[in-house]
Structure 1
Amino acid sequence: MQPHPNVRAVQDALDAATARDGSGGPAIVRLLPDAVHTAAAAAEALGVSVGAITNSLVFDADGTPLLVLTSGAHRVDTAGLSASLGVTRLRRATPDFVRTHTGQVIGGVAPLGHPAPLRTLVDTALAGHPEVWAAGGVPRAVFPTTYAELLRITTGTPAEVA
């Protein structure tokens, strides 16, 4: 069975990130038996703590997409983040905005594999886990990685987001 095009795009982006710097083997996107639309559902399916799940949240920051990769145990402090970024309005993006900028649907947004790179913030709380799990382009696809790898493969900026 051929993988979903979004899963293929994420795997290709992971492979390309590894090839660019010659680091160890790339992460492999895995398909779970069922869709996991929440951090709690993903944690249960994987047998890990909810804090080790990387939520990929897309925000509309004054009309520009902002990807925030946050621990599943956190809620983003949008007022604080807006102030620290110097944006007038930071709000959760609509499903259409998310799909336009990521090519993926809410519940399956990966940290990479988008049509164009997104400005990305990576929650420093994820550094407290030796392994974290991120979405792989569709709600039942995931891949394991580390905080350091998330920073590298997304060219993200470490941030306290909660």
Structure 2
Amino acid sequence: MCSRIAPLPEGVQRVAAALQAQQHPHMPQMLDAAARTAQQAADALGILLGQVAKSVIFRRRSDDAVVLVVASGDRRVDEKKVEAHVGSIGRADAGFVKSRTGFSIGGVSPVAHATPPVTLIDRELLRFDVVWAAAGHPHSVFPLHPRDLQRLTGAPVVDVVQAAP
């Protein structure tokens, strides 16, 4: 990790403002290397893969809504379980993600979206005292307790991942 002198990217500024508005005690941190994947984030931070709160975006078919699933980095999202909560979903391409969330893939934060998403938090994140989420840019992350995800997003904690191997 490093501290940069240059101004923070716009997406990181939005996330920082949202965290500050909700009195979250930890602001985004910039990493030296990109953390576009959960594994890259875990390696950069020196944490377990499961401690990465990855953001997975889907597109709800009925109304074109953004569906955000925040899941543990060591788990695979089960689309059928997601559909049981939100209805039929499809894949979201990079253009959809950027235009609807305001973030590029690899930097999608669980907060400060351009369009409020339908959000689900996977219960597997509760295994950890601290998790790390993307903060609006592939080089930016912030720490939080998994229960803080509920407070910051208003989302339910549910089972939306495949069983552990």
TM-score of the two chains, using structure 2 as the length reference:
0.90
SS of 1:106's partner is coil
The superposition leaves residues 89-146 of structure 1 with CA deviations (integer Å, 9 ceiling, x where unpaired) of: 3122111111111100000000011123211100101011000000010001000001
Which residue identity is paired with 1:2? P
Q: Aligned partners of 1:112 and 1:148: how far apart in 2?
A: 14
Match of 1:5 among 6, 10, 15: 10
1:17 aligns with 2:22: yes
Matches within 5 A, 1:91-130: 91-130=90-129
**8 Å Cα contact 2:103/2:136 also seen in 1:** yes
1:90 aligns with 2:95: no
Q: Aligned partners of 2:33 and 2:89: how far apart in 1?
A: 32
| Deviation (angstroms), 1:86 | 5.4
Which residue identity is paired with 2:112? G
1:68 aligns with 2:69: yes
The superposition leaves residues 25-65 of structure 1 with CA deviations (integer Å, 9 ceiling, x where unpaired) of: 52210000011111011101101100000111110111211
Q: Which runs of 5+ in 1 are unaligned?
A: 19-24
What is the count of residue pairs matched by the alignment?
Answer: 154
Q: Percent identity?
A: 36
In structure 2, relative to structure 1, the CA distance for the partners of 1:126 and 1:86 (3 Å cut) is: closer
TM-score of the two chains, using structure 1 as the length reference:
0.91
Moved over 6 A (4+): none
Q: Aligned partners of 2:81 and 2:157: how far apart in 1?
A: 15
Q: Aligned partners of 2:147 and 2:80: how far apart in 1?
A: 26
Q: Aligned partners of 2:51 and 2:60: how far apart in 1?
A: 26
SS of 2:22's partner is helix
SS of 1:68's partner is strand
**8 Å Cα contact 2:27/2:142 also seen in 1:** yes
RMSD over aligned CA atoms reads 1.1
Aligned to 1:47: 46
Q: Aligned partners of 1:91 and 1:26: how far apart in 2?
A: 35
Q: Aligned partners of 2:98 and 2:82: how far apart in 1?
A: 23
SS of 1:114's partner is coil
Aligned to 2:3: none
